[in-house]
Every structure is written in C-alpha cells, then in structure tokens.
C-alpha cells in the first residue's frame, strides 16, 4: 500500500510545490493538505493550475492538528515558518509519523546557535540530536534511517553542495570562504509585504541581510562538520527580479598554491576528480563541462543543481558557481528526494 502523505502549511510557495510534486508522485498518496487560511476549500479552488488532477477537486485544505495528521498520514511535510514547525514535529514524532521539516527548526545541532541566529529559544531542543540534515547527496545513509529530516535551506543547498566535497578532500582552505548569492523573489515566501510587490522588485537589484543572514548558521555547521574544524564564512544574499532560482558564486582558496602551469594543471585534475567522485553518479548534480556556466533557467522547475568552476591564475583562487531552483532543489524537490530515500523508492521518483 502506498504511504499516505500530509503537507502542513500547503499554501505557501514551498507547500504549493510539494502539492504539485506529490499529486503526480506514483508511489505515495497525498492524503492531507493543511492551511488555516484556506481550510474547507479544495486544492483546485486555491491552485487552479492543479485543477486538472482528479484529486485536486476532492482534496480539501484542513486545519492543522497533530492527532488528525498522525491518523491520516505516515509521512508529514512541514512547510511552516521557523518556530512553528517545531510545535508540530514533537507530537507527530511521538505519534509515530516520519517528519520532513522544510523550516530551519531542526537544521542545527546546537540550540545556542539557533538562539543566536533566530532570536528565540529553540522550542524543542531535545529533537536536535535526532534530526538528520536532509542534503541527500551528503547524508543519504542517515536519511534512510531518519525519523526527522531537516530539509536544508535554499541558499545553504546552493553553497554546500559545491563546497563540501572540496573541503572534505582537503583541496581548499576552510578559511576565507565567500559566498555571493542572488535569489528570486519566491524565496521571500507568499507574504503580503510592500517589499515584495511587483513594482518594488521588478527592475530592482538589492543586497539584504548583510552581514549576518540566518542561513549562515546551518551553512557553517555543515562546513565545520566536513572540515573537522570551526568554519566561518562570508555570505551575501541579493534579491533579483525572477520568480525562481538561486545563483551562487563562491570564492575559495586552494590549499596549495598553483603558480606554475604544471601546478595549475594538476589542481585542475584534482578538482575535476573530486567532483566526479562526489557527484559523478548523482542524478541531480550536473557538473558543467567546457565553457558552460550555470544559468538558473536551465534548472528552474527541476531538482538539479548545476555546478561549474574556474581556477584563476591571476589571483590564485578557485571560483565555483552553482544554480538551483530555490523552491525545488532548494526546498520541496529536495524534500521529496529525501522522502524517496527514506521510503526506499528510486531516488528520482516523481522528480525531474
């Protein structure tokens, strides 16, 4: 029998994308979608674009209640604001559900760091130990056995996937890492705020959250785990007028100097091999070759990350660039990818 799925907070952009993917997923049954705001209405009414799917006409949004969720579903996705997600995770886990949380609530191991970055006490610190960081390419084996998966943030996904293999392989220094990212406006969520009006975003390019964006906490924790030392990085997010997509440019310092052509050539081979070993068999990582550079339009609507890199002999740096769909690979696509692993399905099921 197909596992039954619930999505809590299904009316935001991540929730909507989960609905889209799971409606068409051949191995699970979308059983519950919750939304306080739209309770009582059908999926077809709130999301006309899904109305052709037979289930969309009968499935109605409900109020989110842990008991009812646990009775109706074996796997629950939480697409809620941080702080709120944790309130549902604890009872759902106790009631035997598997929980895949798309908020920031369980991405960190340290409640203190959480408080430092999120400005409130962690609502369920005991669960931090149990949660698995849902970056499938990195933590696949733990995800298989997890009860609580903390799906990574969008920026962290675009930064960690290109950086972790290099760091683990000792090819780059763990100091001095800079990540410069730009994101589409869906990253701000479906919130009625002046800053995200069409007229305020169109024809606008702007940094924000400088210099201490919340996503730094999970990025640095994952990098530190990989480097086996404390890593502090520089991260600047920018808001740009596209619906979806994150483009990240990383400035990295190779562990070894490459002053001569021979050294540069050797390093090129090492980096190529490092990425090939890490991701050559991965379905959702596209290592670009030749002159190709990442472009969000080639990944939007998919669960793929594009990665390209260049050595700069003038500066001695390694420049790595990545592109993802912030709502897909950066949120809901990746969450379903981890669900596939958790359930023992083919990892690409229901995803493109």
Q: Which is nearer to a second copy, 40 or 207 (CB)?
A: 207
Nearest to 320 by CA among 135, 112, 180: 180
Whole-angstrom distance, CA of residue 156 vs CA of residue 213: 11
Q: Which is nearer to a second copy, 54 or 170 (CB)?
A: 54
Could you give the C-alpha distances from 75 to 53, 97, 275, in angstroms and in order? Answer: 22, 6, 33
Torsion-angle region of 191 (φ positive above 0: left; ψ -120 to 50: alpha; else: beta):
beta
Q: In sequence order, which residues have a C-beta less than 8 Å from that of residue 271 and are 6 or more positions away?
A: 166, 171, 309, 311, 318
Please, which of residues 95-124 interact with a second copy by CB under 8 A? none
Q: Please, are residues 297 and 244 in contact by the beta-carbon 8 Å criterion?
A: no
Instruction: Give the residue, chosen from 2, 228, 273, 297, that forms a contact with a second copy under the rule CB under 8 A.
Output: 297
Q: Which is nearer to a second copy, 141 or 292 (CB)?
A: 292
Instruction: Give the residue, chosen from 3, 51, 81, 147, that forms a contact with a second copy under the rule CB under 8 A.
Output: 51
Instruction: Give the residue, chosen from 52, 110, 276, 277, that forms a contact with a second copy under the rule CB under 8 A.
Output: 52
Q: Which is nearer to a second copy, 24 or 257 (CB)?
A: 24
Catalytic residues: 154
Please, which of residues 150-189 interact with a second copy by CB under 8 A? 178, 180, 182, 184-186
Q: Which is nearer to a second copy, 168 or 238 (CB)?
A: 238
Instruction: Give the residue, chosen from 42, 74, 157, 296, that forms a contact with a second copy under the rule CB under 8 A.
Output: 296
Please measure the distance between the N-terminal and C-terminal CA atoms of the chain and give it in whole angstroms. 24
Whole-angstrom distance, CA of residue 104 vs CA of residue 114: 9
Pairing of strands 246-252, 234-239: unpaired
Q: Please, are residues 217 and 198 in contact by the beta-carbon 8 Å criterion?
A: no
Question: Which of the stretches 49-57, 63-71, 118-126, 161-169 binds a second copy when contact is defined by CB under 8 A?
Answer: 49-57
Binding mask 207-226 for a second copy (x = CB under 8 A): xx-xxx--------------
Give how many residues touch a second copy by CB under 8 A: 75
Residues 101, 105, 106, 107, CA torsion sign: positive
Other CB atoms within a 10 A radius of the CB of residue 96 amount to 9
Please, which of residues 236-295 interact with a second copy by CB under 8 A? 236, 238, 240-247, 249, 251, 283-284, 286, 288, 292-295
Binding mask 20-39 for a second copy (x = CB under 8 A): ----x---------------
Question: Which of the stretches 71-79, 102-110, 256-264, 299-307 binds a second copy when contact is defined by CB under 8 A?
Answer: 299-307
């Amino acid at each position: 029998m197909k596992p039954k799925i619930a999505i809590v907070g299904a009316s935001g952009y991540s929730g909507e994308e989960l609905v889209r993917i799971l409606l068409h997923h051949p191995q699970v049954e979308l059983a519950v979608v919750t939304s306080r705001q739209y309770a009582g209405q059908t999926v077809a009414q709130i999301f006309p674009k899904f109305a052709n799917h037979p289930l969309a006409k009968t499935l109605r949004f409900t109020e989110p209640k842990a008991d009812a969720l646990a009775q109706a579903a074996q796997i629950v996705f939480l697409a809620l604001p941080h702080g709120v997600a944790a309130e549902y995770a604890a009872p759902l886990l106790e009631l035997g559900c598997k929980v895949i949380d798309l908020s920031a609530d369980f991405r960190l191991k340290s409640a203190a760091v959480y408080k430092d970055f999120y400005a409130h006490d962690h609502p369920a610190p005991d669960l931090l130990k149990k949660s698995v960081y849902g970056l499938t390419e990195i933590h696949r084996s733990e995800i298989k056995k997890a009860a609580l998966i903390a799906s990574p943030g969008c920026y962290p996904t675009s930064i960690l996937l290109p950086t972790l293999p290099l760091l683990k392989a000792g090819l780059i220094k763990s100091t001095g890492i800079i990540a410069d990212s730009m994101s589409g406006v869906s990253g701000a969520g479906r919130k009625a705020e002046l800053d995200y009006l069409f007229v305020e975003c169109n024809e606008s390019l702007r940094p924000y959250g400088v210099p201490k964006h919340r996503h730094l906490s999970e990025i640095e924790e994952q990098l530190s785990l990989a480097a086996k030392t404390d890593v502090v990085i520089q991260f600047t997010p920018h808001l740009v007028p596209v619906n979806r997509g994150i483009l990240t440019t990383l400035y990295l310092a190779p562990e070894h100097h490459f002053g001569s052509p021979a050294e540069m050539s050797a390093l090129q081979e090492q980096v190529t091999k490092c990425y090939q070993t890490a991701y050559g068999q991965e379905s959702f990582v596209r290592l670009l070759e030749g002159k190709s550079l990442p472009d969000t339009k080639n990944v939007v609507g998919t669960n793929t990350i594009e990665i390209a890199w260049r050595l700069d002999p003038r500066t001695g740096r390694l420049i790595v660039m990545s592109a993802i769909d912030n709502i897909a690979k950066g949120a809901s696509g990746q969450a379903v990818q981890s669900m596939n692993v958790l359930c023992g399905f083919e990892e690409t099921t229901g995803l493109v």
